[in-house]
Structure 1
Amino acid sequence: MIAVFGLFIGIIIGVVWNVPIPDKFSPYLSVAIFACLDSVFGAIRAGLEKQFKADVFISGFFGNAVLAVALVYLGDKLSLPIYLAAVIVFGTRIFNNFASIRRILLEKAKIH
């Protein structure tokens, strides 16, 4: 529940504040957002499975974001679009977590 609340607060802040992001930072921001969304969807799934642990969520949230941004930086230095690999991996994980969440919610709806 904390993850969902944090996600909504972040969306509201992002909509209210119009912060221009320079084009050269867009790969960093996109990968960081994907990494954080992956952590949020993983937390929601873990919460539904009654396995949520706040320390795992927080460390994964920030750890994934830092690692993803570091990979983008490395890619910039090597002139390689490494960020695409991170986007693909995090995108796949987000959709897998969403599919798991959907199945859990459908199972809970059938029981009640």
Structure 2
Amino acid sequence: MIIALIGLLIGVILGLRIPIQYPAAFSLYISVAILAALDSVFGAIRSNLENKFDTEIFVSGFFGNAILAGILAYIGDRIGVPLYYAAIFAFGNRLFQNFAIIRRHLVEGRKSKSRTE
């Protein structure tokens, strides 16, 4: 757990310190890829709370979902159909579902702790 927090801290510091700029034309692809990556992170937190976390599944899902979402947005952009809406809907829906389950785990854990004390 401490390694994950250190990695998160390093990532945030690097993200704030290194000036990365990309063309505005890529903003759609990057935003959909970020949404997919967040979905994977929330899924990992959920699976960790359920004691089902697997690093290989997380890493493959993190990169696979982000790449798939970016490709879907790119193909849709090329053929003139907003296919990125499908990625936004799917990943957004799962993101909120995972957040709700995480919230329930945390609230139930807090309630069970207060009952035992």
TM-score computed with the length of structure 2 as normaliser? 0.86
Give % identity. 54
Amino acid in structure 1 at the alignment position of 2:27: S
3-state SS of the aligned residue for 1:19? coil
Q: Paired residue for 2:55?
A: 54
**Secondary structure class of the residue paired with 1:70:** helix
Shift of residue 88, structure 1, vs aligned partner: 2.1
- Does 4-13 or 98-107 show the bigger shift? 4-13
TM-superposed deviation, 1:17? 1.9
Distance 1:77 1:94, change over 3 A: same
1:14-48 deviations in Å (ceiling 9; x for gaps): 22222122111001100110111000000000001
Question: Following the alignment from structure 1 to structure 2, what is the Cα–Cα distance between the partners of residues 109 and 66?
Answer: 37
One-letter amino acid matched to 1:65: A
Q: Which runs of structure 2 are paired with 1:1-112 in the superposition (5 Å)?
A: 1=1, 6-112=7-113
CA 1:7/1:105 → structure 2, altered by over 3 Å: closer, same or farther? same
TM-score (structure 1 length as normaliser): 0.89
Gaps of 5+ in 2: none
Matched position secondary structure for 1:50 = coil
SS state at 1:20 partner: coil
**Could you tell me whether the CA contact under 8 Å between 1:38 and 1:94 is conserved in 2?**
yes
